[in-house]
Structure 1
Amino acid sequence: MKKTRQDDLVSSPERRTFLKAGAGFMGSLLLGGIPFKAVAQATNLAPPDRCFVFVYFSGGWDQLLAFDPRDPAVFTADRVSETRIMPGYSLLTDGAFAQTPVVPKERAGAGPSKISFGPAIGDPRTANLSDHYDLMTVVRGINMSTLTHEVGYRYFLTGKMPIGSAARGSSTATEIVGQMKPTVPIPSIAQGVESYNDRYGGYANALRVSGLADLVLTLDPPSAARQLDSEIEKSLIDLNGQPITCEEQALTARGVGTAYESSRGQMQTVMENKLSDSFRFQLTANQSVRDFYGLNNQAYPYNSAAGRAAMVATALKKGISQCVSINLAGGLDTHFGTQQTHATNQRAGFNALNLLVTDLRATPHPGGGNFMDHTTILVFSEFARTPTINATGGRDHHLSNSCLLMGAGIKHNRVVGRSGDIGMSPGMVDLRTGDNDPNGSNIFPEHIIATVLASAKLDYSITRVDPLRFILA
């Protein structure tokens, strides 16, 4: 059978990637609502006053290893039938993992840490994420109301319980961009994370990419060597730099031309500033990024957790984006005898996050202070894993979850909420004060999302709950 032109297109991975990413990008531009003058000003690439990072750990993390540890001297093997909690730290055979909860060393001027961490947070003998305790609030005992991966994941992305497994409402990053309308070239990037928009114009859509190579390909100016394989690809490229016609000017009176003009300006900003080069970490100009994130000796730095963290820092520091959603760790849905593997996979994500926070903390922000003074980070997973170990030596799905909030708009060096000392069930909290209260209420993901929005004085009414005011700065 004769192979068609469409067959050629589908058979080329590079072309498929370009079209998929490019179409997502242009979906956010063609419907854009940012005034053209504001887009033109974005050519200066000034970082927004507030930035947001949403960090996803994929698969359901073990919170005994991270943000809700237990002392193995108290929760011993001979008490498991009573407590239904087994920390399992003795099963971590790598000497880089502590056998007890990690309490970070006191940071100068910050006072002692009020937060303890599980062994996966980092090697206590070296710099690790727990060293930034003075920027953190840990929320424990979050009731996920589901043990299904897709439901818990989309619940935390939107702050709304899905209908079946289908997401309901906009992603929190979309809500932020929709309300704030930042004048940056690519307001929101989502790498390896879903994104939804149910009430804003296309300007609030995320540029969704599967990896850093995907991002570079999407932002690249077209080369002479690239063949135009479809009308879609040709339209994407032709949008840049063409004169406005009389017909377009006539349509402007009805708003269509304005949207087109705005999207053209946004694309032109991307092309003229060669934004793709910012993410080509192999270039000489990006030597300092390679050095800091340890990308020099990695065969595929784009695909590493450290490479993804470097992408986030670049997007924020260079004023390219306001919101970045990133999948920083995977391989956590482990049900079979894999305590060491699970801990190692978590640690890879936490080590990369430590590099990102260290970088943002050391970089001055044009608005004063450093980038962490202007950045709010939410770290989450779809649920946690059971506090007991199953018959195959692994852990299963568990309702009681934790999350980490860091940076701007959030009180620091705090732990709120709790999980029970029997089976780590979600605890009850006075939602006005944050005190543990047996007559109180559970904390749900919508409380976390409302708090993130309120931290920037945004409208959180879509969550239909009040934020956790006791952790708002």
Structure 2
Amino acid sequence: MKKNPETCAGRRSFLKAGAGFLGATVFGGIPFRSFAADAALKPADRCFVFVYFSGGWDQLLAFDPRDPAEFTAERVSETRILPGYSFTDARFPTVPIRPDVAGKGRSNIDFGPAVGELANHYDLMTVVRGINMTTLAHEEGMRYFITGKRPIGAAARGSSTATEVVGQMMPTVPIPSIAMNVESYNEGYPGNANALRVNNRGDLLLTLGKTKVPLDSEIEKQLVDFNGRPITCEAAAYGAGGVGTSYATSRGQMQQVLSSGLDTAFDFGHSSNGELRTTYGLNSSNYDQPAGRAALVATALKKGISQCVSINMVGGLDTHFGTQTSHALNQRAGFDALNLLVKDLRSSPHPSGGNFMDHTTILVYSEFARTPLINASSGRDHHLTNSCLLMGAGLKHNRVFGYSGNVAMTPAVVNLRTGEADPNGGNILPEHIIATVLASAKLDYSITRVQPLEALLA
């Protein structure tokens, strides 16, 4: 009999997402039934959001801009930098942005044209420039930033930063870590530090029980039998590498997840989510677009479902040809969604005092950047020198650390204590960023084998 492709895809998603719970019978060290019985979940006192822009972003349009009056086409043979702002359209400014919002003081950070209204939160930001990615391969750069360890070839090493956070802090929330369309790794922590990995919001609803997908394999039925039927010899053989045993030890946990009604929080069309739809401008056509992804992050944190959310906010950035406008539009969509998230967290009181941004650290990154010169196809290629954005709790704000060179935007050589130019200094690497994120919550950062950027710590 021919299988229904949608049913098969849903079943695979369900099994893969469910595997995020393997190896543990409690979340955060507390039996899940405690949460299921308590309608008012308590948000984590410290939250983390890891926002990935997929494909390699153009930093001239974002966090490392240049003044086109200085870096002109006439000087391009000298500077090897062409901002290209005039190649965008009327939706974007043609010069870098330096906001000045009443009550916040003037921004010390220049932003590129694609950042939009997110730039108005400069009083919560630190921008790190001149990061040397040491790779131009997508998978390697992405995994390097996720773990803070240089991959071996394309193979990731170590745990994801979210796993490190959850493994050390053991938060008392139902699903400590969610990873949406982002890779996640666990090296050495128990199963309750695993992320619930899903490709999209539909997978999350599926895993949490919103949709029931028929299973057409008897072995699969046994592996995800939440009613307590023993794993059979056939199933055990199927799971010779430990899959069967892992499902056997976790199915009670998953049964409790499914019965808790957490899926309603992520069903944006539900009658209880009217305020969320208004805040994020949601309708059925954009639930799974960047604004919907930002709403998912806010829901997971504010409702006390998760401590860490890692999310692929926007893609379409691996463009080697075409216009600046298309790349700027893709980045702007991600930054606009992030702006909605930050506005929401800033305006939402946290039960421990202050607002949610007072309790949340955000890292925004991409695997590398784009070349400062426009190629023969009117696009930009892969470039080693990257930058990133840090926001929120545990960090100093309204500052820039490091720089890229004014010739070809080369990686910085800086004093790693101050961020200032120092010929005897070193490169800023992704592990310095990850060490800083961990240190911002006073967590052990020794896995990075470097010191955090102390000048950025509050």
TM value normalised by structure 1 = 0.88
Kept in 2, the 8 Å contact 1:51–1:322? The answer is yes
Instruction: Give the drift of 1:178.
Output: 1.1
Partner of 1:323: 308
> What is the rounded CA distance, in whole Å, between the counterparts of 1:210 and 1:339 in structure 2?
29
Q: 2:96 aligns with which of 101, 108, 128?
A: 101
Kept in 1, the 8 Å contact 2:179–2:195? The answer is yes
> What is the rounded CA distance, in whole Å, between the counterparts of 2:229 and 2:137 in structure 1?
51
Q: 1:384 aligns with which of 369, 374, 379?
A: 369
> What is the rounded CA distance, in whole Å, between the counterparts of 2:28 and 2:81 in structure 1?
56
Kept in 1, the 8 Å contact 2:127–2:388? The answer is yes
> What is the rounded CA distance, in whole Å, between the counterparts of 1:121 and 1:221 in structure 2?
35
Partner of 2:445: 460
Instruction: Give the drift of 1:13.
Output: 1.9
**Does residue 278 of structure 1 match 2:265?**
yes
> What is the rounded CA distance, in whole Å, between the counterparts of 2:208 and 2:63 in structure 1?
37
Instruction: Give the drift of 1:268.
Output: 4.7
**Does residue 120 of structure 1 match 2:114?**
yes
**Does residue 16 of structure 1 match 2:4?**
no
One-letter amino acid of the counterpart of residue 277, structure 1? T
Partner of 1:402: 387
One-letter amino acid of the counterpart of residue 456, structure 1? A
Instruction: Give the drift of 1:408.
Output: 0.6
Instruction: Give the drift of 1:38.
Output: 4.7
Kept in 2, the 8 Å contact 1:25–1:206? The answer is no
> What is the rounded CA distance, in whole Å, between the counterparts of 1:91 and 1:31 in structure 2?
53
> What is the rounded CA distance, in whole Å, between the counterparts of 1:171 and 1:295 in structure 2?
30
What are the within-5 Å matches in structure 2 for residues 328-407 of structure 1?
A: 328-407=313-392
1:403-440 superposed Cα distances (whole Å, 9 cap, x missing partner): 00000111111100000111110111111223222321
Partner of 2:191: 202
Kept in 2, the 8 Å contact 1:185–1:269? The answer is no
The range that moved more, 430-439 or 53-62, is 430-439
Partner-residue secondary structure (3-state), 1:350:
helix
Uncovered stretches (5+) of structure 1, i.e. residues with no partner: 123-127, 245-258
Instruction: Give the drift of 1:295.
Output: 1.2
Q: 2:295 aligns with which of 310, 326, 337?
A: 310
Kept in 2, the 8 Å contact 1:36–1:262? The answer is no
> What is the rounded CA distance, in whole Å, between the counterparts of 1:235 and 1:374 in structure 2?
42
> What is the rounded CA distance, in whole Å, between the counterparts of 2:33 and 2:442 in structure 1?
27
Identity of aligned residues (%): 65
Kept in 1, the 8 Å contact 2:28–2:170? The answer is no
Instruction: Give the drift of 1:105.
Output: 2.4
One-letter amino acid of the counterpart of residue 101, structure 1? P
Kept in 1, the 8 Å contact 2:25–2:252? The answer is no
Partner-residue secondary structure (3-state), 1:177:
helix
Partner-residue secondary structure (3-state), 2:109:
coil
**Does residue 288 of structure 1 match 2:280?**
no
> What is the rounded CA distance, in whole Å, between the counterparts of 1:239 and 1:221 in structure 2?
16
Kept in 2, the 8 Å contact 1:34–1:262? The answer is no
**Does residue 449 of structure 1 match 2:434?**
yes
Kept in 2, the 8 Å contact 1:47–1:319? The answer is yes
Partner of 1:151: 140
Change (3 A) 1:222 1:72: closer
Kept in 2, the 8 Å contact 1:38–1:183? The answer is no
> What is the rounded CA distance, in whole Å, between the counterparts of 2:359 and 2:417 in structure 1?
26
Q: 2:204 aligns with which of 184, 196, 215?
A: 215
Change (3 A) 1:288 1:312: same
One-letter amino acid of the counterpart of residue 197, structure 2? R
Partner-residue secondary structure (3-state), 1:439:
coil
**Does residue 87 of structure 1 match 2:76?**
no
How many residues are matched? 440
Q: 2:21 aligns with which of 11, 28, 37?
A: 28
One-letter amino acid of the counterpart of residue 453, structure 1? L
Q: 1:172 aligns with which of 161, 174, 177?
A: 161
Instruction: Give the drift of 1:237.
Output: 5.4
One-letter amino acid of the counterpart of residue 63, structure 1? Q
**RMSD in angstroms over aligned alpha carbons?**
2.2
Partner of 1:111: 105
Change (3 A) 1:13 1:436: same
After TM superposition, what 4+ stretches of structure 1 lie above 6 angstroms from structure 2? 259-262
One-letter amino acid of the counterpart of residue 226, structure 2? L
Instruction: Give the drift of 1:29.
Output: 4.1
TM value normalised by structure 2 = 0.91
Instruction: Give the drift of 1:26.
Output: 4.0
Change (3 A) 1:383 1:36: closer
Uncovered stretches (5+) of structure 2, i.e. residues with no partner: 231-245
**Does residue 193 of structure 1 match 2:182?**
yes
1:115-146 superposed Cα distances (whole Å, 9 cap, x missing partner): 11000001xxxxx1001100000000000001
Kept in 2, the 8 Å contact 1:54–1:379? The answer is yes
